[in-house]
Chains A and B, each alone.
Chain A
Amino acid sequence: MERVPVLKIGEILLVSIQIDMEDQVALQLQEDLAERIVATGVRGVIIDISALDIVDSFVGRTLATIASVSRVLDAETVVVGMRPAVAITLVELGLSLPGIRTALNVDLGIAMLARQDEDIDLLGDEDDTDQVAEPTP
């Protein structure tokens, strides 16, 4: 079975889905990501689906589950690069992907994660000196 690679880039995990996934491959990705979020402690996940020519209800549900699971693990997921024809089809299929944040491309996805997590230098060096967050008054 093929596996979708999960890359750590700076303080985010980047998943770029380049294959037409069998259902089992999608479920494996869901598991792999949860493990990598815990292992790395990242606060952001970007899933690039620009290579996917369709998203059906199974992949849609998998993306939604990934987003919920990562949120529980204190990481935010952004799905990026959805093709226009895929968006039109998803809506007609009846899947509006509630709870999933989207951005047009990887750069905008990173910017979105950075905004919601401004105290973390998402793409900074891993050996950055620790910043102690000031307690909010």
Chain B
Amino acid sequence: MNDDVQRLPVVTDQDVVRVRQLVRTVAVAVKLSLVDQTKLVTAASELARNTLVYGGGGEAEVSRVHNDRRAGIRIVFADQGPGIADLDLALTDGYTTGGGLGLGLSGARRLVDEFEIDTEPGKGTTITVVKWCR
């Protein structure tokens, strides 16, 4: 079950800042701990930048979710860019095709509770992350 879905375009540098701010606001509303807020906003910043830089732009969707035990936040980043041909490689610490640090994907995965990538060369990439309240 989920409610309160908010969508943001990810097409400019400024949009990446807006995604960080929205995720922070929702993380506070859901009452994530300060450290978990920080981890989630950092992961969102990494993934939003990838959507922009590698995906050629796309969208972020932030929702409050809950199961029978806990509340949480789900963020979906979607683009229709080139996709990721070798996921294992892309998820390796230090691997970058863009002169970055290569820590965005692998680091974001460590910072959240659930991490799912759906990608197809030529079609695009959708990454879904969830962080639950402890």
Chain A positions near chain B (C-beta within 8 angstroms): 20-24, 53-58, 60-61, 83, 85-86, 88-89, 92-95
Contact = CB atoms under 8 A, between A and B. Distances in A.
A interface: dominant SS: helix
B67 interface: no
A43 B42 CA distance: 32
Given A24-B13, A54-B45, A58-B49, A95 B101 contact: yes
A20 B108 CA distance: 19
A54 B38 contact: yes
A61 B30 CA distance: 31
Given A61-B100, A93-B108, 6 more contacts: A21-B17, A22-B14, A58-B45, A85-B38, A93-B103, A94-B107
Contacts of B108: 93
Nearest to B24: A53
A89 B111 contact: yes
Contacts of B46: 56-57, 93
A60 B108 CA distance: 14
A95 B38 contact: no
26 contacts: A20-B17, A20-B20, A23-B16, A53-B38, A54-B20, A54-B41, A55-B42, A56-B104, A57-B46, A57-B103, A58-B45, A85-B38, A86-B38, A88-B35, A88-B38, A89-B39, A89-B42, A92-B39, A93-B46, A93-B103, A93-B107, A94-B106, A94-B107, A95-B101, A95-B103, A95-B107
B21 interface: yes
Contacts of A94: 93, 103, 106-107, 110
Interface residues of B, number: 27
Nearest to B52: A23
Given A54-B20, A57-B103, A93 B38 contact: no
B13 A85 contact: no
Nearest to B110: A92
A23 B99 CA distance: 14
B45 to A, nearest CB: 4
B13 A89 contact: no
B12 to A, nearest CB: 8
A94 B24 CA distance: 21
| Most chain A beta-carbon contacts within 10 A, residue among B34, B38, B49, B108 | B38
A22 B39 contact: no
Nearest to A61: B101
A57 B111 CA distance: 13
A22 B17 contact: yes
A53 B37 CA distance: 9
